Amino acid sequence: MPYVPAELYSRIRRVEWSRSDFAQQERIKMGPLCIDLAAHEVTVDGRSRQLTHQEFALLSFLCQNRGRVFSRRQLLERVWGVDYYGSSRTVDIHVRRLRMKLGPTVNNLETVRGVGYKMKEP
């Protein structure tokens, strides 16, 4: 069945819209943890947590890619950017600070020994 050009155009626009930034999830909820990507806020059990820009970026990246293991090098490239030339231990320090700030109620941030880190499903 051939498409009418207007209908084809409409379908293409719908696919583009669904892939655009406007259609992205603005909140990530994992048990007591809630990340508001638009407002750049993190709450645990309804209480706000103050995170640095990099801590927020790391947490939101891991939560958006739940269940997947990332090496320190991958996290540096994807969260800090390819131009970052610091030590891979920077990731360890940020993970430690995240664990301290989020508290024991958020224990999904898992170390995969010899590999890196992942965010477990709640």
Question: How many whole angstroms separate alpha carbon 45 and alpha carbon 31?
Answer: 9
- We find that the CATH architecture of domain 24-119 is Orthogonal Bundle (1.10)
pTM: 0.77
8-state DSSP, 79: I
Write out pLDDT tens, residues 36-72: 999 999 999 999 999 999 999 999 999 999 999 999 9
Residue 5 three-state SS: helix
Give the whole-angstrom CA distance, residue 92 versus residue 98.
10
Whether residue 82 is predicted with pLDDT greater than 60 in this model: the reply is yes
What percentage of residues in the chain have a pLDDT greater than 70? 81
Q: At what angle do helices 89-102 and 53-64 cross, to 10 degrees?
A: 90
What distance in Å separates the CA atoms of residue 22 and residue 79, rounded to the nearest whole number? 21
Is pLDDT of 75 > 80? yes
